[in-house]
Every structure is written in C-alpha cells, then in structure tokens.
Amino acid sequence: MTRVTQAFVARLADSVINLNGPGRYVHWGFIQISVANLVVVALMIVVFVAAIFLPFPEHGRRDR
C-alpha cells in the first residue's frame, strides 16, 4: 500500500469515527457512562434480542 493510499484510508477512517481525543460521556441523573460503553451495551442488547428471535439453521438435523 503506497503512502498516499495509506493516508487516504486513515483520513477515511477518521471521517467515520475518530477516537483520538477525550471521551464523550452521557449524564443522566446520577448515571454517567461513556458513549463508547453505551454503544457496547446497546449492541449487546441488540445481539441478545436477535439471538432469541432469529431462526437457527436447521441443516444437519438427522432426527427430523
């Protein structure tokens, strides 16, 4: 990868999400949580709900 391409990819990644700075926090009453941790918690909830409701592939079941 050339230096120009590397710089372009880095700039592109920065434009989507730039983690090079102080963290951002959400304050809600006595609750204080970083946006990064809030995103992870939200993702866990999404994955948990998806794991319950998404159908599991049935191939390989010999007993049906």
Partner 1 sequence: MRFDSAEEGLAAQADLPEDALQWSARLRRAGVAAFPPGRLLPDRQPAYVASWIYVFGALTLAALAIVVASGMVLAIEGPTWWHLSRVGLFVNSMHLWGVELFFFFMVVHLWGKFFMAAWRGRRRATWITGVLSFVVSIAAAFTGYLSQQNFDSQWIGTQAKDGINATGAGAFFNVLNFGQMLMWHILLLPLAVGVLVIVHVLLVRRRGVVPPFAPDPGDLVASEAVTAATDLGVDGMAAR
By CB under 8 A, name the binding residues for partner 1: 40, 43-44, 47-48, 50-52, 54, 56, 58, 61, 63
Indicate the SS3 state at residue 60: coil
Q: Shortest distance, CB of residue 10 to partner 1, whole angstroms?
A: 15
User: In terms of CB distance, is 33 or 40 closer to partner 1?
Assistant: 40
Q: Shortest distance, CB of residue 49 to partner 1, whole angstroms?
A: 10
- According to DSSP, the β-strands at 31-34 and 25-28 are antiparallel
d(CA 46, CA 54): 11
